[in-house]
A = this chain, B = another copy of it.
């Protein structure tokens, strides 16, 4: 019987968030299943919501329970109602990861995976051993390590999903915000490879430099005084009419729509007081700013703002197209879709307050990787 250390996040009824490590049994694999020894699982921004909820990590402390570390942090009282649905449930965390298949069920499909390095999506990846359906394993090429393949899904499929959504909705160029992020840099590589014009919006000069350094052609700093003019210029050059925004709060989405409308109006009749007929779209896919989204509606009537979520995108395009996208990721995982990590930590280290404070900042140049089989 295999035991595994699993990271769990629990919202307590007393308003405390607890992140703990627990020893649980790994079930024997069914005929169509395998056991993967997880050796690399990234901490993505999209993992932090489940991991820490709205808890105040700056007020966190780490103690021990059953000889294993336990991180506790208070949830501000006004935010407790928002997480009442998950109260007192120990939730495993970790959207994606990669490792080696160490045990396989009886079926041919499962047996064929023995010893292979595979990538997985599906939650509960912050664990040493994970049972998975053989059909869910994305096999990585010979020589590709679990670390190389740890981030096969969230960022690569999001980047591909943005370009695919752009095409599905009849746009020909796109805007991306928080564009110096790991995802943003990947999107630049993808758009360069696929010849899609991409406008990068960032928030400081260092991020401008990062993007120019990787060959980005259109970069704007939203903190510049002449941001709206610069943005309008590059939108005019690219004809971008769709944007993917990771910030969500504040006026940035509205500003992007305004710039798009300025460009569209150059080709419209001035007496059309409902604005241009060019449809302008902003999808909010992240929440770097929790404050409300403020839309001043200075862009006519042909516009939309909405949420964008990877699973909904995959449901929209269907299983077959989703598989094509996944196979493309696997074949370009060390080039177009390569991720870089600044720190590799163990499960126990992930629960140390100082470490937690650092990775929950979602800093541009930092990316953490958990290796659940690294010494605790």
Q: In the complex the two chains form, is B300's CB within 8 Å of A307's CB?
A: yes
Asked if A14 lies at the interface with its beta carbon under 8 angstroms from chain B, I say no
Q: Per-residue CB proximity of A275-317 to B under 8 Å, as 1/0?
A: 0010000001101000011111110111111111101100100
Q: In the complex the two chains form, is A303's CB within 8 Å of B306's CB?
A: yes
List the one stretch of A28-36, A84-92, A154-162, A207-215 in contact with chain B.
Answer: A84-92
Report the Cα distance A295→B295, complex, angstroms.
8
Contact partner of A297 (CB less than 8 A), chosen from B287, B297, B300, B304, is: B287
Asked if A49 lies at the interface with its beta carbon under 8 angstroms from chain B, I say yes
Residue of B nearest to A123 (CB): B271
Asked if A341 lies at the interface with its beta carbon under 8 angstroms from chain B, I say no
Q: In the complex the two chains form, is A305's CB within 8 Å of B306's CB?
A: yes
Q: In the complex the two chains form, is B86's CB within 8 Å of A271's CB?
A: yes
Q: How far is the CB of A283 from chain B (nearest CB, A)?
A: 9
Instruction: Write out the residue numbers on chain B whose beta carbons fall within 8 Å of the beta carbon of A297.
Output: 248, 284, 287, 292-293, 307
Asked if A143 lies at the interface with its beta carbon under 8 angstroms from chain B, I say no
Instruction: Identify whether the interface residues of A are mostly helix, strand, loop, or mixed.
Output: mixed
Asked if A252 lies at the interface with its beta carbon under 8 angstroms from chain B, I say no
Report the Cα distance A295→B297, complex, angstroms.
13
Interface size class of A (residues with CB under 8 A): 35 or more
Q: How far is the CB of A265 from chain B (nearest CB, A)?
A: 8
Q: In the complex the two chains form, is B305's CB within 8 Å of A301's CB?
A: no
Asked if A131 lies at the interface with its beta carbon under 8 angstroms from chain B, I say no
Contact partner of A294 (CB less than 8 A), chosen from B82, B292, B307, is: B292
Instruction: Write out the residue numbers on chain B whose beta carbons fall within 8 Å of the beta carbon of A302.
Output: 307, 309, 312
Q: In the complex the two chains form, is A271's CB within 8 Å of B305's CB?
A: no
Q: How far is the CB of A291 from chain B (nearest CB, A)?
A: 9
Report the Cα distance A302→B50, complex, angstroms.
18
Asked if A67 lies at the interface with its beta carbon under 8 angstroms from chain B, I say no
Residue of B nearest to A315 (CB): B277
Q: Per-residue CB proximity of A75-87 to B under 8 Å, as 1/0?
A: 0000000100110
With A49-B273, A85-B270, A86-B271 known to touch, is A301 a contact of B295 (CB < 8 Å)?
A: no
Instruction: Write out the residue numbers on chain B whose beta carbons fall within 8 Å of the beta carbon of A265.
Output: 85
Instruction: Write out the residue numbers on chain B whose beta carbons fall within 8 Å of the beta carbon of A91.
Output: 271
Q: In the complex the two chains form, is B304's CB within 8 Å of A304's CB?
A: yes
Q: How far is the CB of A202 from chain B (nearest CB, A)?
A: 22
With A49-B273, A273-B50, A273-B86 known to touch, is A301 a contact of B312 (CB < 8 Å)?
A: yes
Instruction: Write out the residue numbers on chain B whose beta carbons fall within 8 Å of the beta carbon of A308.
Output: 301
Report the Cα distance A297→B294, complex, angstroms.
11
Instruction: Write out the residue numbers on chain B whose beta carbons fall within 8 Å of the beta carbon of A86.
Output: 270-271, 273
Report the Cα distance A82→B262, complex, angstroms.
12
Report the Cα distance A254→B292, complex, angstroms.
10
Instruction: Write out the residue numbers on chain B whose beta carbons fall within 8 Å of the beta carbon of A85.
Output: 265, 270-271
Report the Cα distance A3→B106, complex, angstroms.
92
Instruction: Write out the residue numbers on chain B whose beta carbons fall within 8 Å of the beta carbon of A296.
Output: 292
What are 20 sample pairs from A and B whose C-beta atoms fall under 8 A apart?
A: A82-B298, A85-B265, A86-B271, A254-B292, A287-B297, A292-B295, A292-B296, A293-B294, A293-B297, A294-B294, A294-B295, A301-B307, A301-B308, A301-B312, A302-B309, A303-B306, A303-B307, A304-B304, A304-B307, A305-B305
Given contacts A292-B295, A292-B297, 10 further A-B contacts (CB under 8 A): A85-B265, A86-B273, A91-B271, A248-B297, A254-B292, A284-B297, A285-B301, A293-B295, A302-B307, A304-B307
Chain A residues engaging chain B, CB cutoff 8 angstroms: 49-50, 82, 85-86, 89, 91, 248, 254, 265, 270-271, 273-274, 277, 284-285, 287, 292-298, 300-309, 311-312, 315
